[in-house]
Chains A and B, each alone.
Chain A
Amino acid sequence: NAGVTQTPKFQVLKTGQSMTLQCAQDMNHNSMYWYRQDPGMGLRLIYYSASEGTTDKGEVPNGYNVSRLNKREFSLRLESAAPSQTSVYFCASTDGTGNTGELFFGEGSRLTVL
């Protein structure tokens, strides 16, 4: 029962470097999401994909790009990392039918930008 798998779990970058966070789910879910979590601010939506082939901006999309590679995989790319992007990133998925809001989350990717 893998559920939602994120890689890497930890990453340290220097300002200006780029990297991609990978996410894969094995539950045949239609919708996938990327959130960031910062102390005192809760989870904030970066991008989401309602279904394979579609992506939309969330609350804090600036500085990020996403790719819905196929139904299973949804990646998040930082083209030029900034210290403000130091955060814990969570990928989530849901079957999307009925719009239940019951999200299944990965264990997170902890990113530090120096």
Chain B
Amino acid sequence: EDQVTQSPEALRLQEGESSSLNCSYTVSGLRGLFWYRQDPGKGPEFLFTLYSAGEEKEKERLKATLTKKESFLHITAPKPEDSATYLCAVQGTDSWGKLQFGAGTQVVVTP
């Protein structure tokens, strides 16, 4: 059974204070690992797909990396508009079309 654990559950940052979110996963064979952003009262919004260990993706102040057991979402010099819940999900090679989501990390960036 695919499993995803995200840590920490919540993170409070000062504007400009860089940090990292962790996503640990177990899956029989990884088809892909996905990061989403969710704003309060909204549906999740896709950010990145990572397919293999060593892969990295960047978008503005966000950078996602992948190893064989975990993924990190690095937030560099965050701004208040980066405040959101960040969700990690995996898709196994035997789980066509089905993603296993973690519970998310709630990030609050204060000015």
Interface residues in chain A, defined as those with a beta carbon under 8 Å from any beta carbon in chain B: 4, 31, 33, 35, 40-45, 48, 50, 58, 90, 92, 94, 96, 99-108
Say yes or no: A96-B97 contact (C-beta < 8 A), given A43-B87, A103-B44.
yes
Would you list 12 pairs from A and B whose C-beta atoms are within 8 A, ordered by A residue?
A: A4-B43, A31-B97, A33-B97, A42-B101, A42-B103, A43-B99, A43-B101, A99-B96, A101-B89, A102-B34, A105-B43, A108-B41
Q: Please measure, in the bound complex, the distance between the C-alpha atom of A102 and the C-alpha atom of B43, giving whole angstroms.
A: 13
Q: Which residues of B contact A90 (CB under 8 A)?
A: 43-44
Q: Please measure, in the bound complex, the distance between the C-alpha atom of A101 and the C-alpha atom of B2, giving whole angstroms.
A: 15
Q: How large is the interface on B (under 10, 10 to 19, 20 to 34, 35 or more residues)?
A: 20 to 34
Identify A40's interface contact among B44, B45, B103, CB under 8 A: B103
CB-nearest residue of chain A relative to B91? A101
Cross-chain contact B99 with A103 (CB below 8 angstroms): yes
Given pairs A41-B103, A42-B4, 11 additional interface contacts (CB within 8 A): A43-B87, A45-B98, A100-B49, A101-B49, A102-B49, A103-B44, A105-B44, A107-B42, A107-B43, A108-B41, A108-B43
